[in-house]
Amino acid sequence: MKIGLAYIKGSLPGFEDFGNIPTDLVKSNGTINGTNGIKASKELVGIIIPGGSILESNSISNDLANEIKTMASDGKPVIGICSGFQALVNQTNIGKNLPCPIIKEGLGLLGC
């Protein structure tokens, strides 16, 4: 049983061995690190999107988003931590205390 960890720009470092969870790193192109291009949805039973500044840096690529959505539609668990959770919604306002909203599109997996 393999669990993926999205390893993308803006995610906080150090999640790779958090609690010694046996995770496989998923790159921004949606493939599992060190597997010669195997797509995450083909090999993993779930994926974790860590926290950090991933919304601000727009670091969830279309390839990774498609893999995450495929996994969700296949009934596989998709877990978001902090801004990883925010990435699961339709959109979020990352400038909520500013006079002008800063809307970032999410993956649309949660209807918030």
The closest of 112, 93, 96 to 104, measured between CA atoms, is 93
Q: What is the pLDDT of residues 11-61, one digit of tens each?
A: 766 555 555 666 788 988 999 988 889 999 999 999 999 888 777 777 789
Mean per-residue pLDDT, 68-84: 93
Least Cα distance to 45 among 6, 71, 20 occurs for 71
Q: Which sequence spans correspond to the domains of the chain?
A: 3-105
Nearest to 82 by CA among 20, 10, 31, 4: 10
More confident residue, 51 or 70: 70
Mean pLDDT score, 78-105: 86
Q: Smallest Cα–Cα separation from 79: which of 42, 110, 37, 36? A: 110
Contact 55, 87 (CB under 8 A): yes
Which residue type is seen at 63? Answer: D
Report pTM: 0.84
Cα 52 to Cα 42: distance, rounded to the nearest angstrom: 26
